[in-house]
Amino acid sequence: MSRLHDLVPAGIFVLVFCISAAAQIKRDMFAYKVGSRPVISLRNQYGRITDTPTAVDRVVITVVHSDAVEILHNQNENRIEMITGSQVASGAKADNVDYQVMVPPDACVILSTAAGSLSAENLQGDLILEGTTASVDAHALRDAHVHVKTLSGPITLHEIHGSYVDVATASGEVNLQDVSGPMIQVHSGTGPIRYLGDPSGGFFKLVSGTGNIFVSLPSAGIAHFKARSVKGKVDHQILDPQLAPIPGQTNSLLHPALASFEIHSLRGNISLREASK
């Protein structure tokens, strides 16, 4: 009797394993006809979401998932919502749900995943990207409104022009290259912030708690700076040392320039450089 009792847990384990192994990978495609400036909201837990442009009146979403995962979707006039249901996190590849999203360039897109990755390119509408540990990559955007929020996931933005950009992360690393627009804001708790390339014009506000901030521009004359770190150091080799009479602070607002940088850190170091140096 006791021997039969001991075999029961093993039997259950084998049954569960067989059910898991039998799960098949599926590829579903959803197509919607939409009007101008549609709103697409997509929420996932584990996996990749990639967003690219398509025809002006179509939204096409391709989903790769196991048959153990349910995809919930709904269209209400010009709004499309898709949610991953019944998704677990056992560490197996079949747990991931990957989305390929094709939207009109002027669409408002809201993408969310806890772990995995989010990417978007060649869009012009509102773009909201939210993740926990997920990495975020957005590039080749123009005249857009970009909002990015992560807990610890790294954020990379490049080749973004004429756009409003708002980035917030608790500990993720933030990298911006050739990003310009009327207003660019980045707030990081402990992660570093790096800006490289040509800011063209506009106002840049870079703020960190303990993370270091690094800015490298092709020429010192294309931007002016107001930089301060309460407990860290400010290394301002891009500027005339006479413009920094106070330790831990520099101010170059005395010379004209198209772009303006306001940089603050509580404990992180701030470094300002010319790219050629």
Show Cβ contacts of residue 141 under 8 Å, excluding neighbours closer than 6 positions.
120, 121, 122, 123, 124, 127, 159, 160, 161, 163
Phi, psi of 123 (to 5 degrees): -120, 165
pLDDT: which is higher, 72 or 246: 72
Of 119, 115, 112, nearest in space to 95 by CA:
115
pLDDT band at 119 (very low <50, low <70, confident <90, very high): very high
β-pairing verdict for 164-169 and 249-251: unpaired
**CA gap 190, 188 in Å, rounded:** 6
Instruction: Encode pLDDT of 187-206 as tens digits.
Output: 999 999 999 999 988 899 99
Instruction: Encode pLDDT of 124-163 as tens digits.
Output: 999 999 999 999 999 999 999 999 999 999 999 999 999 9
**CA gap 17, 29 in Å, rounded:** 29
Of 146, 186, 155, 190, nearest in space to 170 by CA:
190
pLDDT band at 87 (very low <50, low <70, confident <90, very high): low
pLDDT band at 85 (very low <50, low <70, confident <90, very high): confident
In the chain, where the domains are located: 154-277
Instruction: Encode pLDDT of 41-80 as tens digits.
Output: 999 999 999 999 998 899 999 999 988 888 999 999 999 9
Q: Are 37 and 108 in contact (CB under 8 A)?
A: yes
